[in-house]
C-alpha cells in the first residue's frame, strides 16, 4: 500500500476549497485542516478524518483514500450547512487537482 499521497491529496483539496469562489462566499477563509485556537466563526469547514485502503496491483502501488469534509455551524436549522456542503460538492466535482506526490485517478 502507498500512504504517501495522503498528505498531498489533503493539501490539494484544502487549497482548492480555499480558492473556490462559491465556498469562499459562504465561509470566507474558514476552511481548516486543524482547528485554530480561539473563537471559531459561525460556520466553518474541516478536513479529516481519512481512511486509506490498499489498492495496489502487480504493476503499481496504489491506495483508495476516503476522507471526510465536515461543515460545522451554529446557525439555526440545516440550511446554512447544506448550502456550504453543496458549494463544496460543486467545487470538488471533476476538480482537476494536481498532487505534489502521486497521481489522482478519481475524486
> What's the pLDDT tens digit per position in 39-66?
999 999 999 899 999 888 899 888 899 9
Interatomic CA distance for residues 82 and 71, integer angstroms = 8
pLDDT over 70 (residue 1): no
Query: Quick one: average pLDDT of 81-91?
Result: 97
On whether residue 102 sits in a domain, the answer given is no
Question: Residue 44 falls within a domain, yes or no?
Answer: yes
pLDDT of the residue at 2: 67
**Total of domains in the chain:** 1
Q: Say if 98 falls within a structural domain.
A: no
Q: What is the mean pLDDT of residues 62-88?
A: 94
Q: Is residue 12 part of a domain?
A: yes
With a pLDDT cut of 90, the percent of the chain lying above it is 72
Helix 79-92 and helix 5-19: axis angle, to 10°?
A: 120
Residue 97 within any structural domain of the chain = no
The whole domain housing 40 covers 5-92
Amino acid at each position: 500500500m502507498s500512504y504517501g499521497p495522503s498528505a498531498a491529496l489533503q493539501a490539494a483539496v484544502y487549497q482548492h476549497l480555499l480558492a473556490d469562489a462559491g465556498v469562499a462566499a459562504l465561509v470566507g477563509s474558514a476552511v481548516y485542516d486543524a482547528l485554530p485556537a480561539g473563537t471559531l466563526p459561525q460556520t466553518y469547514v474541516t478536513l479529516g478524518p481519512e481512511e486509506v485502503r490498499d489498492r495496489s496491483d502487480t504493476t503499481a502501488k496504489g491506495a483508495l483514500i476516503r476522507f471526510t469534509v465536515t461543515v460545522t455551524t451554529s446557525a439555526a436549522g440545516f440550511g446554512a450547512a447544506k448550502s456550504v456542503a453543496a458549494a463544496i460538492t460543486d467545487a470538488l466535482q471533476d476538480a482537476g487537482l494536481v498532487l505534489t506526490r502521486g497521481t489522482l485517478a478519481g475524486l
